[in-house]
Amino acid sequence: MAEFTGKSVCKGVAIGRIKFYSQQENTVVREKVDDASAEQTRYEQARDKAIEELNALYEKAVTTVGEDNAEIFNVHAMMLEDEDYNDSVSSIIAGQQVNAEYAVATTGDNFAEMFASMEDEYFKARSADVKDISERVIRILTGKENSNDIGEEPVIIIAEDLAPSETVQMDKSKLLAFVTRLGSSNSHTAILARTMNIPAMVGTPIDKAFDGKMGIVDGYEGKLIVDPSADVLEIYFAKKKADDEKKALLQELKGQENVTKSGKKINLYANIGNPGDLGAVLANDAGGIGLFRSEFLYLGSEDFPTEEAQFQAYKKVLETMGSKKVIIRTLDIGADKQVDYFGLEKEENPALGYRAIRICLTRPEIFRTQLRALYRASAYGNLAIMYPMIISVSEVLQIKEISKSVREELISEGIKVGEVEEGIMIETPAAAVMSDELAKHVDFFSIGTNDLTQYTLAIDRQNEKLDVFYNAHHPALLRLIKMVADNGHKEGIWTGICGELGADTTLTEEFIKMGIDELSVSPGAVLSVRKAIRECE
């Protein structure tokens, strides 16, 4: 028996045979060609077929992991249409009179190396994406089959790494768990594993010799056990049975109130990335939507989304949720969410730079378009608008002046608008410290603990080297959260949490004691948080 540790990215227990998954390796040989034009045509045909495959993958992924997570395949398709990438391939074919396979492999290596050398974590992640799309085109050029068959028996997949396309194409009914040597907790594959609710680990020692052996993945403790003894197997069969029973019991909480033993009621909402996540919200019995990230409209578009396109998206969500509250956050572009057509300049420290409300207030034409769409949609449901990255009262007053102007403009045009709550995200220490003054001007606070934690601790949450220093339970952070709740209540407004800490059930009772009125979590975490609330005194 051998035991290995790694970083858990999705909790759960899996027991079964291990299958070592080898990525398809495309060996490319540089060959001189007589007809560069014919090679260019071969490349273009292979590229177009690759884009067709990616579009089909997107459609499949939407049904299994939702639109937000499927978006990576649209990104890959767009990368294959990138002018710089295609110019590089064409230039190598024509300039060196070589085969298309070599030109694609060289371009892929060059671009991947370029991205990997960048300091920005978002662009570093694009290195793996370039490799993935290049391998796809080379496979098509060489005529290899696209096989992700993992056999008939459900297995634990171990691999050096897994590309998103490989993950999605695998038969979910045959997957017990993922374990990879490379990858991070923020990788696309890790996100897909969480969405598919499959136990998963990254940063784990693996070996081809594990193939075919019995294995155990403990996603709670981040352990991979190879060739477990009979005693250990017995322990883990019992642990898995208890885990399965716990998940079944959670289903019985559907329709139950989010109320403590002493009778205190907590609003329990869901965070979503786009309208495609609505099914999960309803299936998990969330009381509303506490954070709708509107930037998906911008990230998935080649130009600024029109007022009408935004209106239709917001209207769909509000109509589907009926009388339940829907809190839509205005665009949070910038930092790790870059969009070419915004024309944002490269920044040394983008997390502290030109992003979110700072873009809205300095480019009011973008802001007003979104606000018009939001207010138009407000007639179709229970809408609240939330503004991110606030640091001062003056910003809030400027926002309210613009929103009032937009509302009056729509009414003067004869367009019906509903009653709309306006709140702000508390995700900067400045906003937390000034929350007593900010509370006088808004209808609610929603604490974004992801950014508030990194700004309070001065730790980049996407930097793996700093994981050892990252403490989401830091006393300074908890003090700020309580301060915000207290200051909100003094002015008669409610306070919620929409960051990842909202789903941390070890803090649920403490949040309730602090006076937190609402928790907004991923749809899949709603029932476990409801259970924690109902067990609180």
Residues 193 and 296 reside in one and the same domain: no
Q: Considering the domain boundaries, does residue 185 fall inside one?
A: yes
Global pTM reads 0.64
SS (H, E, C) 355-388: CCHHHHHHCHHHHHHHHHHHHHHHHHCEEEEEEC
CA quadruple 50, 56, 59, 65: dihedral sign: negative
Contacts of 394 (CB under 8 A, 6+ apart): none
SS (H, E, C) 95-118: HHCECHHHHHHHHHHHHHHHHHCC
Residues 182 and 319 reside in one and the same domain: no
- Residue found under tokens 């034409």: 365
Tally the domains of the chain. 3
Residues 73 and 115 reside in one and the same domain: yes
- Here the CATH number for the domain that contains residue 204 is 3.50.30.10
DSSP string, 189-234: HHHHHHHHT--EEES----GGGTTSEEEEETTTTEEEES--HHHHH
Residues 478 and 522 reside in one and the same domain: yes
Q: How confident is the model at residue 182 (pLDDT cuts 50, 70, 90)?
A: confident
Average pLDDT over residues 152-161: 84
- Report the side by side order of strands in the sheet with 214-218: 2-5, 223-226, 214-218, 13-20, 155-159, 175-180, 200-202, 7-10
- Last residue of some domain: 120, 142, 164? 142
Q: Considering the domain boundaries, does residue 255 fall inside one?
A: no
Question: 247 or 239, which is more confident?
Answer: 239
Which residue among the candidates 76, 188, 474, 489 is catalytic per the annotation?
188
Q: Considering the domain boundaries, does residue 256 fall inside one?
A: no
Q: How confident is the model at residue 92 (pLDDT cuts 50, 70, 90)?
A: very high
Helix (H, G, I), strand (E, B) or coil at 339: coil
What residues does 256 pair with on adjacent strands? none
DSSP string, 265-282: B-EEEEEESSGGGHHHHH
pLDDT value at position 41?
95
pLDDT value at position 184?
67
Domain range enclosing 133: 36-142
Q: Considering the domain boundaries, does residue 28 fall inside one?
A: no
Residues 381 and 276 reside in one and the same domain: yes
- Calculate the dihedral angle through the C-alpha atoms of 164, 170, 172, 178, rounding to the nearest 10 degrees: -60
Residues 10 and 102 reside in one and the same domain: no
Whether residue 367 is predicted with pLDDT greater than 90 in this model: the reply is yes
pLDDT tens per residue across span 94-147: 999 999 999 999 999 898 888 777 766 666 767 878 888 998 899 899 887 655
Which letter, b or e, does each residue of 185-200 get, where b requires 16 or more Cβ atoms within 10 Å of its Cβ? Answer: bebbbbbbbbbbebbb
Average pLDDT, the chain: 87
d(CA 130, CA 278): 31
d(CA 471, CA 391): 23
Residues 376 and 444 reside in one and the same domain: yes
The one-character DSSP state at 21 is P
Phi, psi of 419, rounded to the nearest 5 degrees? -80, 130
pLDDT value at position 113?
85
Residues 375 and 390 reside in one and the same domain: yes
- Last residue of some domain: 226, 250, 274? 250
Whether residue 68 is predicted with pLDDT greater than 70 in this model: the reply is no
Residues 137 and 156 reside in one and the same domain: no
**Which of 119-123, 386-390, 411-415 comes out lowest in average pLDDT?**
119-123
Residues 276 and 201 reside in one and the same domain: no
pLDDT value at position 480?
97
pLDDT tens per residue across span 427-484: 999 999 999 999 999 999 999 998 899 899 998 766 767 777 888 899 999 999 999 9
Residues 15 and 76 reside in one and the same domain: no
- Last residue of some domain: 218, 250, 282? 250
- Here the CATH number for the domain that contains residue 85 is 1.10.274.10
Q: Considering the domain boundaries, does residue 189 fall inside one?
A: yes
Q: For this structure, is 498 an active site residue?
A: yes
Q: For this structure, is 188 an active site residue?
A: yes
d(CA 276, CA 293): 12
Asked if residues 445 and 435 have their Cβ atoms less than 8 Å apart, the reply is yes
Specify the DSSP element, H or E, that contains 531.
Answer: helix 526-535
- Here the CATH number for the domain that contains residue 399 is 3.20.20.60
Q: Considering the domain boundaries, does residue 29 fall inside one?
A: no
Residues 471 and 393 reside in one and the same domain: yes
Phi, psi of 214, rounded to the nearest 5 degrees? -70, 140
pLDDT value at position 169?
65
Cα–Cα distances in Å, from 516 out to 149, 378, 462, 485, 510? 48, 26, 27, 6, 9
pLDDT tens per residue across span 334-358: 655 566 777 777 767 777 878 889 9
| Continuous H helices in 378-500 | 393-412, 429-433, 435-438, 449-457, 475-490
Which residue among the candidates 10, 76, 360, 498 is catalytic per the annotation?
498
Q: Considering the domain boundaries, does residue 75 fall inside one?
A: yes
Structure tokens at 35: 């007809």
**Which of 291-305, 470-484, 493-507 comes out lowest in average pLDDT?**
291-305
Question: 269 or 196, which is more confident?
Answer: 269
